[in-house]
Amino acid sequence: MFTEFLQFLLSGVTVGATYALVGVGFSIIYNASQVINFAQGEFVMLGGMMAWFLFERAGLPMPAAVPLAIAGTVLVGLALEKFAIEPARNASIVTLIIITIGASIFLRGGAQLVWGRDFHALPALSGDAPIDLSGVAVNPQSLWVMGCTVVVVILLHWFFSRTMTGRAMRAVAFNMLAAQLAGVNNRLILMFSFGLSAALGALAGVLIAPITLTYPDVGIMLGLKGFCAAILGGLGYPYGAIVGGLIVGISEAMTAGYVSSAYKDAVAFVIILMTLFFMPNGLFGRRGIERV
């Protein structure tokens, strides 16, 4: 009984951690521009697909394939900002959001052209043999997912609270005018935000690919669940997105385990709708933490 619960919890935390990484990416770009980047899920897809391609097809060893896949996705993120968002900088937020939707369709199409429509498996980083922890079967890849997420969260915390670039990103989010008057180049910050979000998405994609497989459309659902994590945690509040991601992942795993896996994907939609109806600022939303 309890072992079963722990088993579900473990798989919930594992997928939840990837939703958290994607959700943080949504929040970072939102903070720099009020834009919801619907191509966020495609960063996840690109990370997984590139890693698979570099490892399986190009024959690179994993320690080279993974960083290259992340770097490649970062380049795509920077290009997206430079060639799609930047030229339309003076357009309305809604227009910019529609541009990101267009970009997501374009990236999915591009991935199909280059890599085909098939599902691909990226081998797990340290094998598939489950580790038995008093009855709970722990997939080694789960440990990689959770471990990397913890490290990334610690690094992000250090970055946002201790470095000038991190502080500038927070400053832009709280008060764009004052940040500009302090000498922050908000266009550079937006560019950097796209690069950072792409890196986080790609990392999630590389980590989850051995568990869920990777294919050109894999980013649709992952992006949506990351969005759900960001909304639930309070859009623009990266730490909230982490909690949000874990809640979405765990709810999903419990629903799949105790009710039916047929309802698994519905959980995220229900959470989005409930959040928007009952607490539009999310659990830790801006208005909750800021005293103005």
Partner 1 sequence: MLLEITGLSAHYGRIRALDNVSIEIGEGELVALVGANGAGKTTLLRVISGIRPASAGRVLFDGKDITRMPPDRRVRRGIVQVPEGRQVFAPMRVEENLLMGGYTRGAAERREALALQYERFPALAASRNKPAGMLSGGQQQMLAVARALMGKPRLLLLDEPSLGLAPRLVDEVFDTVTALRDAGVTVFIVEQNAFQALSIADRGYVMETGQVVLADTGKALLTNERVKAAYLGL
Stretch that binds partner 1, among 78-86, 109-117, 127-135, 284-292 (CB under 8 A): 284-292
- 136 sits near partner 1 (criterion: CB under 8 A): no
Pick the stretch among 80-88, 96-104, 168-176, 248-256 that binds partner 1 (CB under 8 A): 168-176
With CB under 8 A as the contact rule, the residue among 174, 258, 263, 269 that binds partner 1 is 174
Among 88, 151, 182, 259, contact with partner 1 (rule: CB under 8 A): 182
Amino acid symbol at 11: S
First vs last C-alpha separation in the chain? 49
Which residues partner with 137 through β-bridges?
A: 132
95, 126, 175, 261: residue in contact with partner 1 (rule CB under 8 A): 175
Q: Which segment (69-77, 149-157, 160-168, 241-249) binds partner 1 by CB under 8 A? A: 160-168
Asked if 185 touches partner 1 (CB under 8 A), the answer is: yes
The CB-of-184 to partner 1 minimum distance in angstroms stands at 6
Q: Does 94 bind partner 1 (CB under 8 A)?
A: no
Residue 114 binds to partner 1 (criterion: CB under 8 A)? no
Instruction: Confirm or reject binding of residue 281 to partner 1 (CB under 8 A).
Output: no
| 90 scored as a contact of partner 1 (CB under 8 A) | no
Selected range binding partner 1 among 14-22, 109-117, 139-147, 175-183, rule: CB under 8 A: 175-183
**Shortest reach from residue 60's CB to partner 1, in Å:** 38
Interface with partner 1 includes 153 (CB under 8 A)?
Answer: no
How many angstroms separate the CA atoms of 85 and 82, rounded? 6
Q: Does 63 bind partner 1 (CB under 8 A)?
A: no
Q: Which residues pair with 133 in a beta bridge?
A: 136
Binding span for partner 1 by CB under 8 A among 138-146, 171-179, 203-211, 213-221: 171-179
C-beta of 168 vs 271, nearer to partner 1: 168
